[in-house]
Amino acid sequence: MVAVLSNSLSCLAIGRVVVMVTLLVLSSGCRAQLSSTFYKHTCPQALKTIRTVVRAAIARERRMAASLIRLHFHDCFVQGCDASILLDDSPLIKSEKFAKQSNNSLRGYEVIDEVKLAVEKTCPDVVSCADIVAVAARDASKYLTALKSSSLFGRKGLSAREIVALSGAHTLGQSRCVAFRARMYGNISDIDAGFASTRKRNCPPLAPNGDGNLAPLDLTPNSFDNNYFKNLLKKKSMLQ
């Protein structure tokens, strides 16, 4: 788990400092044991604090639930769930945050910062940013659907089954035209023609016209359900 370096730093600020530490840790080849009760004794109020802040953020803006889940998905998708999505560019790295798939698209960073601040007041220098991102995503889905989950923390190195399950997070939220234009207008055999036609109405063929226009990833974009997978079987997927 990523160590918290200072209780005066936000998760985003830590990102600038933690690069060298992360490189050293990765080079050591160590493996941590993961546990859903990791903070039971070191920070017993951690999960409750995270849940409170996340619920408040979603109450202010329901779309934030999808944003927090998507943030966790993008964090896990590149070499594991390690909070690297929070890192800024530096002379040593090209950040995931500013990659084409993420830049000006991912959101919810301010909620992660708000959670971090609240947790630090409760138990300084204990809870990692990686765990905050993971638990925030878990609580976001639970808040919307009351689904129970016993898996709080991701691990580095995902199986094909885990990647498929993680991809199901796309059942929530919306996508920008710039992200799905090529798929809608391309000569692709694995997409339903009627579905593509509907999505084209709000996504002009020539960039940058309509680049920021949004369309739901499935027909129930505010519900955490399995419609994403049903849509895939019907060739009605927004993303390649």
Amino acid (one-letter) located at 11:
C
In this predicted structure, what is the pLDDT of residue 4? 32
pLDDT tens per residue across span 32-66: 566 778 898 999 999 999 999 999 998 888 889 88
| pLDDT more than 90, % of the chain | 27
In this predicted structure, what is the pLDDT of residue 145? 64
Is 74 noted as a catalytic residue in this protein?
yes
Q: How far apart are CA 240 and CA 228, in angstroms?
A: 13
Assess contact for 127 and 39: CB atoms under 8 A: yes
Last-in-domain residue among 134, 158, 182: 158
pLDDT tens per residue across span 106-135: 889 999 999 999 999 999 999 999 999 999
133-142, 205-214, 221-230: which range is least confident on average?
A: 221-230
Which residue of the set 41, 72, 74, 170 is catalytic? 74
In this predicted structure, what is the pLDDT of residue 5? 31
Residues 137 and 92 reside in one and the same domain: yes
Q: Which domain holds residue 119?
A: 11-27+49-158
Assess contact for 109 and 12: CB atoms under 8 A: yes
Number of domains the chain contains: 2
| pLDDT more than 70, % of the chain | 80
Residues 121 and 68 reside in one and the same domain: yes
